[in-house]
Structure 1
């Protein structure tokens, strides 16, 4: 109760958003052309015309008779070859060291853009913490978010294509072709949040040669409770929910209804500043029908990945643990060690007093330190 009373006295003014400017880093904004060859799956459902149809689709997809795997709504894949403009930010530490040649590629989850990693002041700024610990970072806007391309939300913004974008970015960085001013890294670590962790895991499964270490945050391999979050969104059409920002966008771009649904899915009360929730809601980014229908197509089993893996979950994660990650992530029933049977090492960590959006809580800097320590201990 004393903790609750102390936190409740914090005013909304305690949160101040700032672009990722830090004394510990020098950052460069980039627009990267990423060419991908990947399967696109026709969606075997009518394009949604309005919010009523979207809610009806949600009911059909989450009812008791709904299939566990929604990919049954997909037709045979057609390979596509496209080049996408991807907005990215590369930050290097101001003080150079051996760790400066290690680059962390940061992939955000649904509902955010790359600013998730540098959300505000130092309390919520993973990029500042990583560069302060000596690492370089490459964050980017996934397709359909931020300043990156916004192609068709049904047939192009699909999980295999987003995986191909992550692979393409990694290959460009690894070969020294990302940008003339960015050096070839000695090592690359992939750090994801939520859906970004799914993509990072899939990279380890499909291209283990591209990564020297994986950090999966806001994540577990238990998908039992994902429908709870889908239901809470109400499948609001983004163009109806925030018309000032998304007017004219395709009906395949979805979001949740308001800040309280945002809290339900991402935040643990009272361990966050209400101003953070207000800002997050005002600046949220949609997810797509294509992403949800194709997520199950991504490979996750990674027997060929022999590098370090850190799985990091929030104690009260709704989406991946049903609100309680103890036992699901760190107990004998955890599915994750079997996904990475040859990782050296595989470790699990649970961040206390936190919901799914781990970077939006008062104690976010605690898990920053866990990541840096894990990487440094394991030669990264």
Structure 2
């Protein structure tokens, strides 16, 4: 009898949401940067690139920039749509992952999906979710790693996908939503920042995770990852063009994404095993548009781990770099969202950069969904 009850309980969990994978063709264009940079093919090339990127006193992006050119193309985007068992949710969350992972970051299978943001959003909170492999990553179309796969073109991809979703024109999604929430992580938050700035009335709310607008700490991410050419990493070499770069060890992933004492060692091993590469074009455009005052008029939350390395230098509660004018590094962004309906900043105690991967993920989810509950 107990065994039957346990099986029924498990079945209830398994069937609490319905998900299916999609392949979405899009045609997009963007005004991309043109960089005078050969694709880094050797370890020395990659190391030299990152040493140039972190060189104090030099804007490496500007140093390599020769101009701008419109890039256009037809691409396939791999995505997953999930909704509650009873039908479409109360709003659609469009989730954009960051560097080093694909869309599985949002619905991570480790420990029976205990670390899944999608499970929390759909099963517990009643939303529908749309996760996508960013252009150039995972099962989505790849491209030239220097002058094609950049933030600008990825913002164009998010814009086109969001427009299709708003119109109800995505084949395989039999629902049309009136409320949207755009959620990003890390580089995905940078993409989301620029999307809501260009489309200030599209989203009812936006959540930027693993994010701040302090660029002083990216060297920790760039050098801590100890990046190598993708062609020297057997698990990725056949899947990506030459010129992509990736983190070759769990030590690099640990430095970049995990806070001391806040993670299961088996999760670290899993995150490393499932890691994905990035392009130099993405690295060089990671900060594009982020110093611009944002026109967004919806509700805005920034939620970042207290021990986040790339965006807070390991201490988001520190105020020395903002002269104590704000209670934490995240709160500084409020001045760049003058038109937002509401602004909130949440420093997640003890958490690292990879919010979905730490023991603290439940605290992160609570902050996000409390914010959405009061905003929508």
**Structure 1 and Structure 2 fold alike (TM over 0.5):** yes
Conserved in 1, the CA contact under 8 Å of 2:259 and 2:352? yes
Conserved in 1, the CA contact under 8 Å of 2:201 and 2:297? no
Q: Could you tell me how far apart the structure 1 residues matched to 2:291 and 2:156 are?
A: 15
Residues 1-380 of structure 1 mapped to structure 2, 5 A cutoff: 22-65=14-57, 67-68=58-59, 70-96=61-87, 100-120=89-109, 121-132=112-123, 133-240=125-232, 242-247=233-238, 249-298=240-289, 301-327=292-318, 331=327, 334-379=331-376
Conserved in 1, the CA contact under 8 Å of 2:21 and 2:80? yes
Q: Could you tell me how far apart the structure 2 residues matched to 1:250 and 1:230 are?
A: 21
Q: Could you tell me how far apart the structure 2 residues matched to 1:38 and 1:345 are?
A: 30
Is the alpha carbon distance of 1:180 and 1:115 closer, same or farther for their aligned partners in structure 2, counting shifts above 3 Å?
closer
* Paired residue total: 355
Deviations 1:315-371 (A, max 9, x none): 100000000001459616643001111211100111112100010011312221221
Alpha-carbon distance, 1:30 to partner: 0.4
Conserved in 2, the CA contact under 8 Å of 1:126 and 1:365? no
Q: Could you tell me how far apart the structure 2 residues matched to 1:243 and 1:25 are?
A: 35
Q: Could you tell me how far apart the structure 2 residues matched to 1:50 and 1:168 are?
A: 35
Conserved in 2, the CA contact under 8 Å of 1:301 and 1:340? no
Conserved in 1, the CA contact under 8 Å of 2:35 and 2:67? no
Alpha-carbon distance, 1:69 to partner: 5.2
Is the alpha carbon distance of 1:352 and 1:48 closer, same or farther for their aligned partners in structure 2, counting shifts above 3 Å?
same
Deviations 1:95-114 (A, max 9, x none): 458xx141000000000000
Q: Could you tell me how far apart the structure 2 residues matched to 1:251 and 1:181 are?
A: 35
Q: Could you tell me how far apart the structure 1 residues matched to 2:287 and 2:365 are?
A: 29
Is the alpha carbon distance of 1:299 and 1:177 closer, same or farther for their aligned partners in structure 2, counting shifts above 3 Å?
farther
Question: Mean alpha-carbon deviation: is it higher for 245-254 or for 172-181?
Answer: 245-254
Q: Please state whether the residue corresponding to 2:67 is helix, strand or coil.
A: coil
Q: Could you tell me how far apart the structure 1 residues matched to 2:290 and 2:194 are?
A: 5
Question: Mean alpha-carbon deviation: is it higher for 244-253 or for 49-58?
Answer: 244-253
Alpha-carbon distance, 1:303 to partner: 4.2
**TM-align CA RMSD:** 2.0
Q: Could you tell me how far apart the structure 1 residues matched to 2:45 and 2:340 are?
A: 44
Q: Could you tell me how far apart the structure 1 residues matched to 2:78 and 2:38 are?
A: 31
Alpha-carbon distance, 1:58 to partner: 2.1
* Stretches of 4+ aligned residues off by more than 6 angstroms: none
Conserved in 1, the CA contact under 8 Å of 2:296 and 2:340? yes
TM-score by length of 1: 0.88
Match of 1:5 in 2: none
Alpha-carbon distance, 1:247 to partner: 3.9
Q: Could you tell me how far apart the structure 2 residues matched to 1:287 and 1:315 are?
A: 25
Gaps in structure 2 of 5+ consecutive residues: 1-12
Q: Could you tell me how far apart the structure 1 residues matched to 2:258 and 2:213 are?
A: 20
Alpha-carbon distance, 1:302 to partner: 4.5
Q: Please state whether the residue corresponding to 2:285 is helix, strand or coil.
A: helix
Alpha-carbon distance, 1:255 to partner: 1.4
TM-score by length of 2: 0.89
Gaps in structure 1 of 5+ consecutive residues: 1-20
